[in-house]
Amino acid sequence: MDLAELAIFRAVVRENGVTRAAAKLNRVQSNVTTRIKQLEDQLGTPLFTREGRRLILTPAGETLLPYAERLLALADEARHALKAGRPAGRLRLGTMESAAASRLPGPLARYHQTWPEVTLELETGTTGTMIERLREYAVDAALIATPLDGLPDPEIFEHVPVYREELVMITPRGHRPIRQPDDIALSTLVAFERSCAYRAYVERWYLEHGIRPSRVLELGSYHAIIACVAAGAGVAVAPRSVLELPRSADDVTIHSLGKLGQIDTLLAWRRGHYSPALGALKDALLEDAQRTGSTAQLTAEAAATPAGLHA
């Protein structure tokens, strides 16, 4: 069992099949199939079963996958350590969609220009999803919102606050001012799936006033969420930085949530998996936050009690 076979095994899992894995790895399909068979022979057990045109992990495959992730991550870490501290190699960054749209374009462009030897791969998802992706070694670092239930487990993760975001409520144009949930005229909350930290904050705000949205309409992008709100389908919350993008807020009204809306974005990574490429990215993001006046202000008190919940 060697690292190349483990990398091929992981690619087949991630790409949901041999064809896409071969394209991702720049290999011919027969080579991928052969290496998987060799790995199965070495381990003495099948790793996949076929269901129609799909490959499904066997229990043995499920057991091997986290070990493969850890071994490949350690190999990457070793390669980084041997490069005398110069950022290089692959860096897999997970991020919330809001940060990808409003925060990352500028600093990532400068990062690519400064460190062309780093291959940066970007993946978007909710805060909850990104924490799990970190836990599974599927990404090297992630930009996440400070979770409502507290900071990520310090025995597993390290993090640094980067950006301070202002979470605001958006409604159709002409909606009356909102100071508390009773002021909301629409009963539907338009939001990401439950693993979204921003959704957790606003749902807690509703509950603290003894109210629940009668319906939650789950969508997968801020473009879709803002369009639904503008059409009168409900209300939503979003970082103000997203609404400051061109044409994002033309058809909605923005309402401040006060202290509740002050939420830090963290750059998080697995403890012990810091690399020169990640260090350079951290510096680039902190420099961008300072340049744009959006530096995070996480304090020990804020870490213990998420901002605004007891205001």
- Grouping H, G, I as helix, E, B as strand and the rest as coil, residue 270 is strand
Provide the whole-model pTM: 0.73
- 233 and 121 together in one domain: no
The rounded distance, in Å, linking the Cα atoms of 12 and 36 is 9
Q: Are residues 170 and 241 in the same domain?
A: yes
Are 267 and 228 found together in one domain?
no
With beta carbons less than 8 A apart as the criterion, state whether 283 and 234 touch.
no
pLDDT at 238 over 50: yes
Looking at 11-20, 51-60, 301-310, which range is the least confident one? 301-310
Q: Give tens-digit pLDDT for 183-230.
A: 999 999 999 999 999 999 999 999 999 998 999 999 989 999 999 999
280, 233: one domain:
no
Q: What is the DSSP letter of 233?
A: S
Residue 310 lies in a domain: no
Residue 293 is assigned to a structural domain of this protein: yes
Whether 7 and 50 share a structural domain: yes
* 62 inside domain: yes
Q: Are residues 257 and 269 in the same domain?
A: no
Q: Which residues form the domain of 67?
A: 3-80
pLDDT confidence of residue 306: 36
CA 273/CA 271 separation, integer angstroms: 6
Instruction: Assess whether 155 and 300 both reside in one domain.
Output: yes
Pair 199, 174: CB distance under 8 Å: no
